[in-house]
Structures are given as structure tokens and as C-alpha cells.
Amino acid sequence: MRTGGNLCRSLLATAAALMIVALSSAPAAIADPPAPAVPGDASAVPAGQNREPYTGPYVFAPPSFNPVNGSTVGVAKPIIVNFQRPIADRPMAQDAVRISSNPPVPGKFYWMSDTQLRWRPLDFWPAGATVDIDAGGTKSSFRIGQAQIATIDDTTKQMEIMRNGELIKTMPVSLGKPGYETPNGTYYVLEKFADIVMDSSTYGVPIDSAEGYRIKVQDAVRINNAGIFVHGAPWSVQDQGVRNVSHGCPNLSPADAQWFFDNFGSGDPVVVKNSVGIYDENDGAQDWQI
């Protein structure tokens, strides 16, 4: 379920995971998902990038990065720089962080807190890109995998999977019912749970109330930090593709949920459109709404 309009909040507090894999009353339409960026002239340096290594004075202690060095992630994955201590002079610290990619694509910095700076491309990363980070001399690199995008249309109640520009799969889905609508927006995979327990009492809704529940869910893929997961829901198979019955989470059949779990990983985008409301919660995963 959700608090303040977000489903499955209980997952945040009572996740009993057997396995964790890290890795807008009328409908308001949302724009189609960003397309993967088109590779530009390799000799040009687009806005937001800087290939020059940092050679200035010491500005901050060595930070940590997400994605981690050597990893492969999805096209919606932002770069997260975590500093060891609060940054008093943000412009100075930001100037010491250099982002470059091959192919080069434009992007932007934005701060999430005094200890966290992020960077993302203006559109999704191009498939196969390599990305380098130099944060005051601390370096890291990672790779972008396939351009894999899930788009959920509340008008059709279908999830379409595009891989490298080709439609490879369509799955019926049930989103949040009235009062629990799944907001429009661009989400991305944060982590995955093979098994997890949802318990409405963790956010103030008694289990024995009309909207209460405590249930084990399989193949749960977290796509924001406000309690929204794509997950298997055998109890709503007859509603999937027909009507919305969940408390906000996109429901799939067990087989489709397993496929999604097995094929989607960290940074792969999930776009919700033609639903109600906008995903604007400041939950630390709203990068594509910034």
C-alpha cells in the first residue's frame, strides 16, 4: 500500500527478502519516454561533460560512486557521487567533478543533499556507451548495457518492452485503483527482491481493515523509494489489462513478473503515462523529473 498516495510503502519497512539483487478528476498524459541519446561527434564536448582530468587543489576526501566501478547499468541510470562530509562550497566541489562518455552526450549536474551530487544525460544514455568519472582525482568508470525501456500505458493497461528500438514483449498490467493511482513519470530499477512481505500496518493501515493486507509477493522490482514496485500479483490476473485494482504498484501475472525480474536490472527505465498525477515525490529516485 502507500502513504500519501504511494503503494507498497510497507515494503520499505518490512521487506523480508530471501534474495536481494542489487543492481495525474481526468487522466493527464505524459510525454513519451526520452529516446536513447544519439551519438554525437566524438571530437565535440557536449554541455555538462569535461574530459580534462582534474589537476586542481584538494577539495574533498575521496568520494564513492554509484554505479560502482566496472559495472554495467541501464540507460536511465544517473551518476551518484557520495561525499564523506557535507560540502560547504558546492560550486567548487562540482567543478572538481568531471564526467565524460563515449559517445559524448549532453547532461547536467544536480545536488540531492550536501553530501550527494548527481549527473545524468538529458536523454537516456545510448546503448553501449562507456562513462568515466573523475571526482577530484578519484576515478571510476562503468558501461551502459542495452537500451531496454518498459512503458506502461494506463489507457491500454499494457506494458510494452522495447529493446534497442524493437518491441519485444507486451504484457497486461493493473495499476493503482482510484485513490491509489500510479503517478505518471519516468522511474528506473533500483533493486530487486525475489520474495518480499508487504504489510499495511507498517504505514498505519491495520491489516484487518478494508484496505489492510499482509502478503508475500514474488519477483518485486523496486522502481522508486516511495513504495512502488513492479511485482507478481496472481490475485489480480483477471484484472490485468482490464482495470486498475492495486494500491499503486504495477501488477503483472506471475510468469510476466518473473520475466521482468529476470530481464530488467539496475538503471533500466519504467515509464508510466496516461495515468493520474505526476511522480514528483522527493524520494531520492526522482532523477528524470528533475
Mean pLDDT, range 47-64, rounded to an integer: 95
Looking at residue 25, what is its pLDDT? 38
For residue 78, is pLDDT > 70?
yes
Mean pLDDT, range 18-37, rounded to an integer: 46
**pTM as predicted:** 0.86
For residue 248, is pLDDT > 50?
yes
For residue 258, is pLDDT > 80?
yes
260: helix, strand or coil: helix
32-36, 46-50, 54-58: segment of lowest average pLDDT: 32-36
Q: Report whether 171 contacts 99 (CB < 8 A).
A: no
| Percentage of the residues of the chain whose pLDDT score is greater than 90 | 79
For residue 24, is pLDDT > 70?
no
Looking at residue 32, what is its pLDDT? 59
The answer to whether 249 is a known catalytic residue is: yes
Looking at residue 35, what is its pLDDT? 57
Quote the distance between the C-alpha of residue 82 and its chain's center.
Answer: 18
For residue 31, is pLDDT > 70?
no
Catalytic residue among 98, 222, 231, 273: 231
Mean pLDDT, range 37-42, rounded to an integer: 49
Looking at residue 186, what is its pLDDT? 99
Closest CA to 127 of 76, 180, 199, 167: 76
Q: Phi/psi of residue 56, each to 5°?
A: -80, -170
Helices (H), the chain: 9-14, 90-95, 254-263
* H or E segment and range at residue 144: strand 138-144
Using only the alpha carbons of the chain, give its radius of gyration. 20
Average pLDDT over the chain reads 89
Catalytic residue among 8, 149, 230, 249: 249
The answer to whether 8 is a known catalytic residue is: no
Cα 66 to Cα 79: distance, rounded to the nearest angstrom: 6
Looking at residue 28, what is its pLDDT? 42
Domains along the sequence of the chain with CATH: 9-30+147-289 (2.40.440.10), 64-144 (2.60.40.3710)
Q: Phi/psi of residue 2, each to 5°?
A: -145, 160
